Structure 1
């Protein structure tokens, strides 16, 4: 559950689902990030970038599993998408 100063796996899944992404129930943070980057398009990439920026610049603590999933799955996929579509 989201607390004022903590971002956990459920918060990440909730934010991704709120963006309209199909994330299976019981997915881990890493699995959710894998699903989030499938079929990236410009709108989804922008939404994901904003979500990550908001998380990383907030005063909330991001639990290690969530930060690792973002760092290993989301950020590299977003960087690759941007590189391939801004060339």
Structure 2
């Protein structure tokens, strides 16, 4: 997913330079959220794309925080925490 996200950033940067139709920020954020945040991070640094737009960066870093929190919880608490969260969300 990181490779796909990086490719999306590269395509969007190319479109921006050529004045063509751009990839939406929502689509880029969706790719990051689906697991491509590291590819997005690398693309921002390598391509210098979306790295200075504050509103974009806020959402990007929230996505990164969600991923890091989830994976650290998974690593240290295993399925117990995820199961507890899901059972509290879907209580009916």
Common topology (TM > 0.5): no
Greater Rg by CA: 2
Using the size of structure 1 for normalisation, the TM-score is 0.44
Q: Please, what TM-score do these two structures have when normalized by structure 2?
A: 0.42
| Larger relative contact order, structure 1 or 2 (CA cutoff 8 Å, min sep 6) | 1
